[in-house]
Amino acid sequence: MSFMITSMKTELVSAVTDLLLAITVFMYSKYITTEETKKQIRANIWRYLFILVACGALLGSFAHGFILPEVFNQIVWWLIYLILDVSITLFALAFIYDCVASIKAIPTLLVLALICYIPLIVYDSFTIFIIYQLLVMMAALFAYGFLAIKRRLTGASWLCCGITVMIIGAILQGPPELKISLIWTFDNNSIYHVLSMIGMTLLFYGLRLDLKVR
């Protein structure tokens, strides 16, 4: 099985930005830890989330950057959809845990993840994931906004900023005709990757403040 690098410039830019996202988020995941026992579960949830996002971005870079055999390409995208689906579900668990310090929502979240994943496979449409992501992100923004106002979680305001950036990215990823030329041409996917890097950086900083990462 041979893979050829794509000749589409926008796809190459998407591949590069996805790779940068993967490297950035994976580096952050190495530093999401805490010495406080009571915050260990929270740190673990967020660390696994960052690792999943990095894995999805790495696969995305491969899928964008190479011309793959049709069947293999389909399998790769199914795997990417699965990773993204689980990562958003894990994000939901993260903000629920930050609010109520409980993981009892796991069974319900797994059912929601399955409900979202099946249409992704059947209809092969990324729009379903974008809608799922926006719903979770909006709920998280409300939750962390409440925690920030009540001053119940250090770094909550930074988490709100990160989530806001990622919501904007998800919205901009919707229209496939969107393109911005800044030295290179960034399409809707590469714009999303860049905003995701910014959003994940803000999330990491907010987590750093609360977990007291050294």
Q: Phi and psi of 8, rounded to 5°? A: -75, 120
At residue 124, does pLDDT exceed 80?
Answer: no
What is the pLDDT of the chain when averaged over all its residues? 90
At residue 15, does pLDDT exceed 70?
Answer: yes
H or E element in which residue 156 lies: helix 156-173
Q: What percent of the chain has pLDDT over 70?
A: 98
| Per-residue CA distances from 177 to 56, 69, 98, 134, 157 (Å) | 23, 25, 37, 20, 33
Nearest to 8, CA basis, from 189, 197, 192: 189
In this prediction, residue 113 has a pLDDT band, given cuts at 50, 70 and 90, of confident
Q: Helix H segments across 174-212?
A: 188-211
Q: What percent of the chain has pLDDT over 90?
A: 64
pLDDT, tens only, 22-57: 999 999 999 998 878 778 999 999 999 999 999 999
At residue 161, does pLDDT exceed 60?
Answer: yes
At residue 141, does pLDDT exceed 80?
Answer: yes
| Per-residue CA distances from 178 to 61, 84, 202 (Å) | 19, 22, 25
Q: What is the pTM of this model?
A: 0.92
The one-letter amino acid at 153 = L
Q: How far apart are CA 157 and CA 163, in angstroms?
A: 10
Task: Write down the pLDDT at residue 1.
Answer: 59
| Per-residue CA distances from 195 to 94, 104, 143, 169 (Å) | 21, 32, 21, 6
Q: How far apart are CA 49 and CA 52, in angstroms?
A: 5
Q: Helix H segments across 66-154?
A: 70-100, 106-123, 126-149
Task: Write down the pLDDT at residue 145.
Answer: 96
Helix, strand, coil shares, percent, the chain, to 5: 75, 5, 15
In this prediction, residue 101 has a pLDDT band, given cuts at 50, 70 and 90, of confident
Best-predicted range by mean pLDDT (43-52, 70-79, 174-183): 43-52
> Are 63 and 80 in contact, with CB atoms under 8 Å apart?
yes
Residue with more model confidence, 122 or 187: 187
Residue with more model confidence, 159 or 129: 159
Cβ neighbors of 127 (< 8 A, separation 6 or more) are: 174
At residue 167, does pLDDT exceed 60?
Answer: yes
Out of 35-49, 52-66, 147-161, pick the least confident: 35-49
> Are 28 and 204 in contact, with CB atoms under 8 Å apart?
yes
Task: Write down the pLDDT at residue 214.
Answer: 40
